[in-house]
Amino acid sequence: MAKLWHLLLLCWAWSPLCLPSSVSFIGTPQECEKAHFVPGYNLGGEGFDIVTMERKGAYVIDTETWKIGNGTCRMYHNGYMNGEKQKVPVAVVDWRTLPMCSLKVSSVVYDSVETLVNDSTSSVSNNWKIGLDIPVDPSVKVRVGFGGSHSRDSSFAMKKSKQDHYTFLHHSINCHYYGGKRRSKLSFMLAKNRHKFPLTLLIKSYFLYSSLSLYYFKNSSVHCCRLLFFFSSQT
């Protein structure tokens, strides 16, 4: 029975290999109005709190506009959802399903809360510390931690550590489901409020803003990006 269950899991994990490559087509106005967005369509460019590891609901990129002319839109067949026709925002191009799923379980043992907190931001693919220049008094012999320090996992671990000595284990498997690219179209709210940024900030940060397209993101740590990868981490 165990072998049969393992075989079923393998079939589920690798079945996308048989899916056709994602080819876009133009949907009619009627199709576009009724169609759902592709999964994770609004993850690209969303603000992310590196301390709590939570999405903030503030967007840099416009992920809601889907009309490309005369009420039409760009659509794809989602092989993971029985070929359902789904639309993508104008800002997303080359959307596709990714047959990348591994049943290999990754396990990590944390012997302290500090190691767990420090590792909680490991899924963030860019260096979020760049440009912060947080001053720390060198005479103070205390390690300063910010990223992930108030995440759900960290809060749970710190609560338990106050009761007794615990060792924490983290088991996970990773599957990449969707991918694509995005166009640099600013969200309505950012375009509307960007004049509120100090002029000196815009000048000093111009190169950083123009370089955002070099960064990547995953849905557990969302940043502005050019290449989008949507994946699921089961823990």
- Is 227 inside any structural domain? no
pLDDT digits (tens, 9 = 90+) for 147-189: 444 466 666 666 666 767 777 777 877 777 888 877 655 555 5
Cα–Cα distance between 40 and 216 in angstroms, integer?
Answer: 15
Where residue 54 falls among pLDDT bands split at 50, 70, 90? low
**pLDDT at 126 > cutoff 60:** no
Instruction: Work out how many domains the chain is built from and give that number.
Output: 1
Residue 2 predicted with pLDDT over 60: no
- Domain assignment of residue 205, yes or no: no
User: Considering the domain boundaries, does residue 47 fall inside one?
Assistant: yes
* Maximum average pLDDT range among 9-18, 59-68, 118-127: 59-68
User: Is residue 123 in a domain?
Assistant: no
Kindly tell me if the per-residue pLDDT of 26 is higher than 60: yes
pLDDT at residue 145, as a whole number = 44
pLDDT band at 48 (very low <50, low <70, confident <90, very high): low
Residue 207: Cβ within 10 Å count: 8
What is the pTM assigned to this prediction? 0.53
CA proximity to 227, closest of 190, 176, 183:
183
More reliable by pLDDT, 216 or 25: 25
Mean pLDDT for 40-51 is 68
Report which listed range, 9-13, 85-89, 215-219, is most confident: 85-89
pLDDT score recorded for residue 23: 87
**In angstroms, rounded to a whole number, what is the distance separating the alpha carbons of residues 227 and 218?**
10
Looking at the chain, the whole-number percentage of residues with pLDDT higher than 90 is 15
Residue 164 belongs to a domain: no
Nearest-angstrom CA–CA distance, 21 and 79: 9
58 part of a folded domain:
yes
Question: Does residue 141 form part of some domain?
Answer: no
Tens-digit pLDDT profile for residues 67-125: 998 999 999 999 889 999 999 998 888 888 887 777 788 888 888 777 776 666 555 44
| Domain annotation covers residue 176 | no
- Domain, as residue range, for 59: 25-97
